[in-house]
Every structure is written in structure tokens, then in C-alpha cells.
Amino acid sequence: DAMVIQNPRYQVTQFGKPVTLSCSQTLNHNVMYWYQQKSSQAPKLLFHYYDKDFNNEADTPDNFQSRRPNTSFCFLDIRSPGLGDAAMYLCATSAGAMPDTQYFGPGTRLTVL
Amino acid sequence: ILNVEQSPQSLHVQEGDSTNFTCSFPSSNFYALHWYRWETAKSPEALFVMTLNGDEKKKGRISATLNTKEGYSYLYIKGSQPEDSATYLCATIGGGSNYKLTFGKGTLLTVNP
């Protein structure tokens, strides 16, 4: 039973063409996270929502935005993808603040042509 | 900046071998350490959350230890099986943050039948 679902699993976009990745959860968790993992690198936190409160990491580029219209869904918008944005994007949830376990989706692999 | 280092980067073992790998992290301002297993094309799966110095956790053939004073954690797999093949990620919370997981790059384990 999937608990954190990400769509699509693979996304191809063109340089500069906006793209949206989606994440949904059936856990009713308060916190949702977006991570970026580039090839051979560690997953890196982009931002997270605690309920409706948005928390951006200081080094997350302005090109990346997020929306959380309700508890279950969270979106990652990349306004003008560059070649350097090609990566695996992971969504995760947790019930509350740390050290709660995070539950991950399978990720969306983004290719930028 | 919280640097989490994992070694080795990759590891090949034969079925039935026992193995272990290391996660190193700054010992100051430590709050918690997470271990995840990430099989190809699947979601990262939480293995352990550890908070106390000297913690030992076990899940089947997998166990982990934590030394917060010297800043390391070991993950052990006893009698490796092909289904243990995965990337093992560790992540820590610390440096004054109570929500941000800082990941290592992972150890890729391949178990040959």
C-alpha cells in the first residue's frame, strides 16, 4: 500500500520550460519535504511545509517553488529548468518535528533537454 | 555546515558474508541519526532512528550502533542476502536545527548470489 506517491516517476522537460512534480500522502502527516539528489550526491533538502507553514532552505534557488493546497498534496514547481536541475526529486513526510521517521516516495527522475 | 560522510562508497560481498559500513558526523550539537535503505526503483525505507550515545538497534539481520561522542555510527548486516542489495543512507539532525536531515552520499551494497 503506497503511502507517499510521486507522479510522474520520470519527467522529461526542455530547458526553460516550466515543470511541476507532484506528491501525495495517505498518512495524514503534518510535515512534507522536498529533496533534490543529483548524481552521486547526497539528497539535499529544498524546503518543507509544517502544515501550511512554508520553510525554504537558504540555499534553495528562487527557480524552485512549492505549493501545498491541502494536507495530502504537495507540488514542486521549477519555473525555468536548467541543465543543472536534472536530478532525482524525493518527497517525504513526517508526523511532526524530528526525530520522527521520514517516509519517502519513490522519487521523480527529472531530465532536462 | 554539517558534513555527513559515509564509507565505503560501494561494497561487493558474497551471499552469506557479514558486512558493515560507517557513517561519520560532527559530534557537536548532535540530535539524532537516521539510517535508510534505498533499493533501486523503490522508496527509501527507514531502518533506524537513533538518539542516545551507546544506542544499539536491531531489525532482523541488520543492526546499528551509535557513538555520539566521537561522531560515528556503524551499520552491520549479518549473513548478507541478495535482497539486501541497496544503497544505505545515513542522515543526521544537529547544528541547532530540529527538522533538517543532512544526508551522506550513501553506501551502495551489492550482494552476489
Model pLDDT for residues B77-102, shown as the tens digit of each residue: 999 999 999 999 999 987 666 678 89
How many A-B residue pairs are in contact by the CB < 8 A criterion?
57
Identify the closest residue of chain B to A102 by CA–CA distance: B46
Residues of A in contact with B91 (CB under 8 A): 43
Q: What is the pLDDT of residues B28-56, one digit of tens each?
A: 878 899 999 999 999 999 999 999 999 99
What pLDDT was estimated at residue B12?
Answer: 97
Please check the confidence at residue B1 and state whether its pLDDT lies above 60.
Answer: no
pLDDT at B100: 81
Q: Report the chain A residue with the minimal C-alpha distance to residue B99.
A: A98
Kindly state the greatest CA–CA separation across chain A: 38
Instruction: List all residues 6 or more positions away from A61 whose beta carbon is below 8 Å from its beta carbon.
Output: none
Q: What is the mean pLDDT of chain B?
A: 93
Q: Which amino acid is at B25?
A: F
Tell me which of A30, A33, A104 to substitute to probe the interface with B (most B C-beta atoms closer than 10 Å). A104
Question: In the structure grid, which three cell numbers stand for residue A97, read together?
Answer: 518535528
Any CB–CB contact under 8 A between A42 and chain B?
Answer: yes
Q: Which residue is listed with cell 508526523? A: A95
Collapsing DSSP to helix, strand or coil, A84 comes out as helix
Chain A contact for B46, CB < 8 A? Answer: yes
Residue A2 CA to residue A25 CA, distance in Å, equals 8
Closest CA to B33 of B61, B12, B64: B64
Q: What is the pLDDT of residue B28?
A: 83
CB contact under 8 A, A98 and B31: yes
Residues of chain A under the 50 pLDDT cut: none
Asked whether the beta carbons of residue B34 and residue A40 sit closer than 8 angstroms, the reply is no
pLDDT at B75 over 80: yes
pLDDT range class, residue B65, cuts 50, 70, 90: very high
Nearest CB to A101 within list B49, B51, B98: B49
Shortest Cα distance from A49 to chain B (angstroms)?
A: 11
Name beta bridge partners: B103: B91
| Chain B residue numbers touching A88 (CB-CB < 8 A) | none
Which of B4, B36, B101 best tests the A interface by mutation, with the highest count of A CBs <10 A?
B101
pLDDT for the residue numbered A108? 97
B2 falls in which pLDDT band (50, 70, 90)? low
